[in-house]
Amino acid sequence: MDEKTLNSLILPRHIGFIMDGNGRWATARGLERAQGHKAGAQVFRSISTYCAKLGIESATFYAFSTENWKRPENEVNALMKLFKEFLEEAQAREEENEEIGFHIKFAGDTANMPEELVSLFDICEKRSADKTGTTVNVAVNYGGRAEITNAVRSIARKALNGEIAVDDIDENTVSSFLYTAGQPDPDLIIRTGGESRISNFLIWQSAYSEFYFTDVLWPDFTTDDLDRAIIDFCSRNRRFGAV
């Protein structure tokens, strides 16, 4: 996006990405599905870097859902390996990432996740915690209903302990127990790969999000495609329930 266009737009503060189409991209090339995820991981890198360049406050990437464990074991293993490589690379490129200003956050249930991965995420989160560039939420073992259920459980525990009065529980309380606590709700959610559904992604946070669906498969998604989605978003009239 050129400087002039960029300066004329009110950009989304938070963008969510449903990175769909890796498998089809690979199959169309006679490759293993895992190769599609590998290509998708490169696009995740370029798009998160571009979000930082644009000055987007938060970007959430749906990398692995609570339902994705049902996939063949070799595909699940390939994805776990990719996440590990990403985290190791983030450590190796700490200086570069610091310059970009990434604040990396894990969004998901750490239960039944490989221990090594959980601790790598923990290190990455801690090391990047004071960065003021784009917050990159990597949603792994993530499900929106599970996220809300966990929040309800934590709030109920606090109510039972007398730390919060039941009548004081409001929408902000719930938001503050979600993985995205303290971040703006997504203004824009982009799904690649031709399907038009939300698939349990940020279901609480997306109450007023604008949705952008594209047939482009995630490994083919470029910064130009993101520009198109943002420009489309900027042309919409968001009323948040008002007239």
**Which of 58, 83, 103, 191 is in the footprint of ligand FPP by CB under 6 A?**
83
Dist CA 202 CA 15 (whole Å): 11
Dist CA 189 CA 127 (whole Å): 28
Note whether 110 and 120 are within 8 A (CB). Answer: no
Minimum distance, C-beta of residue 89 to ligand FPP, in the bound complex (Å): 9
122 is catalytic: no
Q: Near ligand FPP by CB under 6 A, which window of 20-28, 94-102, 153-161, 174-182?
A: 20-28
Give whichever of 44 and 102 is closer to ligand FPP, judged by the CB atom: 44
Dist CA 77 CA 234 (whole Å): 39
Q: Near ligand FPP by CB under 6 A, which window of 18-26, 99-107, 121-129, 222-230?
A: 18-26
**Which of 22, 135, 137, 214 is in the footprint of ligand FPP by CB under 6 A?**
22
Give whichever of 82 and 226 is closer to ligand FPP, judged by the CB atom: 82
Strand order in the sheet with 103-107: 103-107, 135-142, 58-65, 14-18, 188-191, 210-213
Q: Binding of ligand FPP at residue 61 (CB under 6 A)?
A: yes
**Which of 106, 201, 218, 233 is in the footprint of ligand FPP by CB under 6 A?**
218
For the chain, first and last CA: distance in Å? 32
68 is catalytic: yes
Kindly identify the residues of this chain, within the stretch 178-197, that bind ligand FPP according to CB under 6 A.
Answer: 193
Minimum distance, C-beta of residue 193 to ligand FPP, in the bound complex (Å): 5
Beta strands per DSSP E along the chain:
14-18, 58-65, 103-107, 135-142, 188-191, 210-213
Q: Binding of ligand FPP at residue 117 (CB under 6 A)?
A: no
* The residue type at 42: Q
Instruction: Collapse the DSSP code of 107 into the 3-class scheme (helix H, G, I; strand E, B; otherwise coil) and give the result.
Output: strand
Give whichever of 76 and 159 is closer to ligand FPP, judged by the CB atom: 76
Point out the residues that are catalytic.
20, 68
